[in-house]
Amino acid sequence: MGVMQDLGLNAAMLAEKLAAARVLVVGDVMLDRYWFGDVSRISPEAPVPVAKIARSEERAGGAANVARNIAGLGGKASILSVVGDDEAANALEALLVRDGIATSLKRDANISTTVKLRVVARQQQLIRLDFEDTPSHEILADKLQEFAAIVGEHDVVILSDYGKGGLTHVEEMIRLARAAGKPVLIDPKGDDYSKYAGATLLTPNRSEFRQVAGSWRDEDTLTRKAQDLREELNLDALLVTRSEEGMTLFRAEGALHQPTLAREVYDVSGAGDTVIGTLGLALAAGLTLPVAMSLANAAAGVVVGKLGTAVCTQQELLAL
């Protein structure tokens, strides 16, 4: 049996529910640039490979990739973020508009849009170059004002924290969203989760959770640490994504584990975006958290089989 059958979901009815669901994504957006080429020699200037570039690609990354995943699954995604007033921002906005995402990108002339440039040869990443700045206080305050104005128009809020400064007002955003009766899902960063207190759900990966809670020897220790953190932060749930071990959902009712559904792991970059995007859309569509987790696990299994920041389409999900 497939995932859809196991969950007792009708594909046509699910597609209809997803199409009506509205998710607001807020956080750090970036432009992922890929330069693809071939390496046939070592530079005479230094012991490094020389890549002859044959083609390039641009993709929306960071929080923008979360929005792409929601749109790819047939949902209504809005993105609120800060970018520079530059060519990279224009390229990023064009990509988002092309995918049918409602964009509100606050332009800050004093910063550069975050860009991650990857040079890839023979399906191997040779180097990644990052360009990034921290947004100004005035632009962030303007973004917070707009968040307060539009949060009520959405069913679920996703805060995607990549540690670039776009979620400086995360505590106030959580407060505003919860006051409006909207679930708040957060992809966290750093070693201080106190700022995320009161959110509905956090989705740290295994290494991120270890950074906050410390290591564990067995499942019982992991469960205790996860439940302690969930209670300390007053969360409804905590979802720890565990790479090849699958993912585990911790709620007051207990822990629920699902093994990975990935058939082939080609590239894990962006998998966390797929997980939280699918979770948020499924909850916005009225599905339960365990069902949303199953769909997110299935979607992540599709994405890790693709190169770079990729999405799981609605057709791919419904076919599972």
Residue among 32, 99, 187, 273 flagged as catalytic: 273
Do the beta carbons of residue 93 and residue 39 sit within 8 Å? Answer: no
Do the beta carbons of residue 240 and residue 250 sit within 8 Å? Answer: yes
Q: What's the rounded Cα separation, in Å, for the pair 44 and 25?
A: 47
Other Cβ atoms closer than 10 A to 187? 26
* Alpha-carbon distances, residue 166 vs 134, 237, 253, 283 (angstroms): 8, 24, 34, 24
Q: Which residue has the tokens 């641009």?
A: 58
Q: Which two tokens stand for residue 217?
A: 């020897």
Half-sphere exposure of 61 (CA within 13 A, CB side): 22
Do the beta carbons of residue 310 and residue 270 sit within 8 Å? Answer: yes
**CA nearest 65: which of 16, 39, 99?**
99
User: What DSSP designation does 46 have?
Assistant: S
Q: Is 273 a catalytic residue?
A: yes
Q: Which residue numbers are catalytic?
A: 273
